[in-house]
Structure 1
Amino acid sequence: MANFIRNTQVKAMTSIWTAKQKARELADRTAAALTDRTGQGTLDVAITVLISIVLGALILAGLYLIVDDTVLPTITQRIKDMFNYGG
């Protein structure tokens, strides 16, 4: 019985120590992240996002113009021809 109690105490102490160690590591990483003043290229990322949004909008507008002027009238005419079959 004494062995069981001792083993339980050792496991509990090990678990507590592991939890404390993980909490310390988390606190250290958090402190390092909060005190880091490098910015990691925040302005570069913002410019890249803006450029990608503008290019995406231009591509979407171009595709809309192509589909609206070229594809849709052709499809509409083909559908009309298909239903006006005199056959």
Structure 2
Amino acid sequence: MKKLFRRNQGKDCLGKKMAALLKNKRGSGYVDQAVVILIAVVLGALLLAGLYALFGDVVLPEISRRIQEMFNYAG
């Protein structure tokens, strides 16, 4: 793999960029990306938990009550 990049290093700009990226050992891009994905997963889970609680406690009982009132011909 290194031979391929060394061979292309002097010929074109892309080879030089690829060699520079391979020499970079910071890894900050991967860590940043992992943190963003983790935050997105946590926020998504919190949003789903909130919606589940809202529908379970507020929306579904209200819908059930309204349907019963709608079909209650005696009252």
Q: What TM-score range do you get, normalising by the shorter chain?
A: 0.5 to 0.7
- Report % sequence identity: 49
Partner of 2:69: 81
Which residue of 3, 15, 32 corresponds with 1:27?
A: 15
Which residue of 17, 21, 27 corresponds with 1:39?
A: 27
- CA shift, 1:75, in A, is 0.7
- TM-score of the aligned structures, taking structure 1 as reference length: 0.57
User: Which sections of structure 2, spanning at least 5 residues, go unmatched?
Assistant: 1-10
Q: 1:60 to 1:75 in 2, by over 3 A?
A: same
Give the superposed CA RMSD.
Answer: 2.4
Number of paired residues? 65
Q: Counting helix residues as a fraction of each chain, which structure ranks higher?
A: 1
- TM-score of the aligned structures, taking structure 2 as reference length: 0.63
Higher relative contact order (CA 8 A, sep 6+): 2
Which 4+ stretches in 1 moved above 6 angstroms?
A: none
